[in-house]
């Protein structure tokens, strides 16, 4: 049996999508790793897939939104007991005409203000970006 340190990390692309002073979050489904945790929408990058293309695909599949992916805002690495994760966070905007997000392949979706971003609600791999997102939302208070 191998531990997480001997396997390559799982590459994940995540969206920081801000509208009207709030950031979009999704809740992990029951029966998944870290079920019930709130996180930034996104998912695994498939082998050979561009992370931006993966993010467009994941947001369409999971919440039904069409988006434009901008620049990366943060890269984090976290080692869980069962796996390691390399997370690429990108600024994302809703594409013109895109519908509101829906919980298609996630437990729930919500728009959150800076006061809603409590570390304990998020997977450990996401916590590193929370202060940056709070600062991004602060001018909208």
Q: Is the Cβ–Cβ distance between 109 and 103 less than 8 Å?
A: yes
Chain segment 41-56, per-residue pLDDT in tens: 999 999 999 999 999 9
Q: Which residue has the tokens 């994941």?
A: 58
Q: Give the H/E segment covering residue 25.
A: strand 22-27
pTM listed for this prediction = 0.90
139 vs 54, more confident: 54
Per-residue pLDDT at 34: 83
> Is the Cα torsion angle 113, 33, 88, 79 positive or negative in sign?
positive
CATH code of the domain containing 40 = 3.90.79.10
Mean pLDDT of 88-117: 96
Domain containing residue 41: 4-140
What average pLDDT score do residues 88-104 get? 97
**Domains identified in the chain, total number:** 1
């Amino acid at each position: 049996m191998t531990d997480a340190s001997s396997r390559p990390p799982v590459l994940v692309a995540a969206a920081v999508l801000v509208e009207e002073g709030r950031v979009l979050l999704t809740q992990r489904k029951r029966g998944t790793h870290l079920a019930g945790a709130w996180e930034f929408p996104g998912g695994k990058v498939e082998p050979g897939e561009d992370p931006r293309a993966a993010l467009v695909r994941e947001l369409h599949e999971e919440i039904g939104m069409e988006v434009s992916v901008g620049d990366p805002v943060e890269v984090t690495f976290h080692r869980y007991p069962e796996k390691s994760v390399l997370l690429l966070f990108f600024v994302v905007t809703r594409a013109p005409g895109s519908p509101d997000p829906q919980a298609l392949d996630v437990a729930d979706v919500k728009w959150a203000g800076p006061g809603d971003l409590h570390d304990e609600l998020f997977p450990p791999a996401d916590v590193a970006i929370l202060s940056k997102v709070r600062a991004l939302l602060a001018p909208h208070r």
